[in-house]
Amino acid sequence: VSLAIDAWRATGGLFDPTMLDALRNVGYDKSFDALAMQGPAVVDDSLTVFGGLDGVDLDARSFLVQTPPGMHLDLGGIGKGHAADLLFAQVIEDGVSGACLDFGGDIRVGGEPAEGNGWVVVVDDPFHPGQDLVSLALSEGSVTTSSRLRRKWSTTKGEAHHLLDPATAEPSESSIAAVTVLAARAAWGEAHAKAALLAGPIAGLRLIEDAGLSALLIADDGTVVTAGEFERFVVGGPTLAV
**pLDDT one-digit tens code per residue, 97-153:** 999 999 988 999 999 997 777 899 999 999 998 899 999 999 999 999 999 888 777
pTM of the model: 0.89
Whether the per-residue pLDDT at 76 is higher than 70: the answer is yes
CA 210, chain centre distance (Å): 17
Is 189 within 8 Å of 11 (Cβ atoms)?
no
User: In the structure, what pLDDT confidence band is assigned to residue 231 with cuts at 50, 70 and 90?
Assistant: very high
Residue 47 pLDDT: 78
What is the pLDDT averaged over residues 5-14? 95
What is the pLDDT averaged over residues 192-217? 97
Q: What is the rounded distance in angstroms from the CA atom of residue 193 to the CA atom of residue 224? A: 15
**C-alpha torsion 13→222→33→156, nearest 10:** 70
Domain 2-236: top CATH class: alpha beta
Q: What is the mean pLDDT of the chain?
A: 89
Lowest mean pLDDT among 27-41, 66-80, 136-150, 187-201: 27-41
Q: What is the rounded distance in angstroms from the CA atom of residue 193 to the CA atom of residue 77? A: 10
Q: Where are the domains of the chain?
A: 2-236
Whether the per-residue pLDDT at 239 is higher than 70: the answer is no
Whether the per-residue pLDDT at 169 is higher than 90: the answer is no
Residue 237 pLDDT: 56
**Residue 46 CB: number of other CB atoms within 10 A?**
5
pLDDT digits (tens, 9 = 90+) for 26-48: 887 777 777 777 777 878 777 77
Q: Which residue has the higher pLDDT, 154 or 39?
A: 154
Residue 241 pLDDT: 35
Rg (C-alpha) for the chain, rounded Å, is 18
86 contacts: CB under 8 Å, gap ≥ 6: none
Whether the per-residue pLDDT at 240 is higher than 50: the answer is no
CB-based burial of residue 128 (10 Å sphere; 0-12 exposed, 13-18 middle, 19+ buried)?
A: exposed
**Residue 16 CB: number of other CB atoms within 10 A?**
26
